[in-house]
A and B are shown apart, each in its own frame.
Chain A
Amino acid sequence: MSTPLVLTYVGFFVMAAITLGGALMAVSARNLIRAALGLIIALIGIAGIYFVLEAEFVAVVQILVYVGAISILILFAVMLTRGLMKRDLPAQNAQWIAAAFISLAMFAALLYVALSTNWRAVETQVAGDLIPKLGTELMTTYLLPFEAVSLLLLAALVGAIVIARE
């Protein structure tokens, strides 16, 4: 049974609202814990978008890695560097008007490209279970990047320990 179009729209708009609401909270909240909470909400909404797009594996990875691990890392970082923004500084710096202007201009440019380009999008059906196919491509076409990931993780592991320890 294929998904009724109206349900796809409902799913998309609910998840888009969660994502954008969380993102706005993340960049505007003065309290950093609240900003991190907004980030987590946005990341969950993005996982929902992946479900709507039928990329289930990436959606689960998003929840596992982003919501489960990266957001915890950010929360620890907030707690580790606590109590220093207590002076009444605004959360935004002096150039926030210019930053808002640049962001809006960027949005306008991206919107123009997204709407005016002919993407040659086609209606495709996702054929069953993609995970075996993902494994095959990871082990053949993308074998070299896959091995490079291990080096990246090694470098990150050693780097984080050397930098963060006293």
Chain B
Amino acid sequence: MIPLPFYLTLAAALFCIGLYGALARRNAIAILMGIELMLNAVNINLIAFWRYVKPAAPTMDLAGQIFALFVITLAAAEAAIGIALIIAIYRSRDTVNVEEVDLMKW
């Protein structure tokens, strides 16, 4: 088997690319894409740990996979609500540039 750090390094790189996207982009939808990438990086870690590390209890053998399924579910709900919010902001403010949506800043 490939050493575990290979997967962890890939996940770390993906997480940081997503982090950069979430921090540096102007468009709210692009920020959401960065967040999706970060969630996926976490999922890679969960599956890699499921494959390489044995859990303590046999009833939790598939903990990593089930956690990943829950993360995917949460990501779907988050995307649905997040994009609904972006569309609502777009309707009332006519922009999806997060720098122009600063009414509640400071």
Tell me the A residues contacting B by CB distance below 8 Å.
5, 8-9, 12, 16, 19-20, 23-24, 26-27, 32, 35-36, 39, 42-43, 46, 49-50, 52-55, 57-58, 61-62, 65-66, 69-70, 73-74, 76-78, 80-81, 84-85, 89-93, 95-96, 98-100, 102-104, 106-107, 110-111, 114-115, 119-124, 126, 130, 133-134, 137-138, 140-142, 145, 149, 152-153, 155-157, 159-160, 163-164, 166
Contacts and interface: CB of A to CB of B under 8 A. Distances in A.
A163 B10 contact: no
Interface of B: 1-10, 12-21, 23-27, 29-30, 32-34, 36-37, 40, 43-44, 47-54, 59-63, 65-66, 68-70, 72-77, 79-81, 83-88, 90-91, 94-99
- Which among A12, A36, A103, A123 has the highest number of chain B CB atoms within 10 Å? A103
Interface of A is mostly: helix
A19 to B, nearest CB: 6
A114 B65 contact: no
B28 to A, nearest CB: 8
8 contacts: A27-B17, A27-B33, A58-B68, A99-B20, A106-B16, A111-B9, A119-B49, A164-B88
Contacts of B96: 81, 84-85
Given A55-B50, A76-B83, A99-B20, 16 more contacts: A26-B34, A39-B37, A55-B65, A61-B69, A81-B29, A91-B27, A93-B25, A93-B26, A99-B23, A114-B9, A152-B77, A160-B81, A163-B81, A163-B88, A164-B84, A166-B91
Contact of A35 (B24, B33, B66, B99): B33
B51 to A, nearest CB: 5
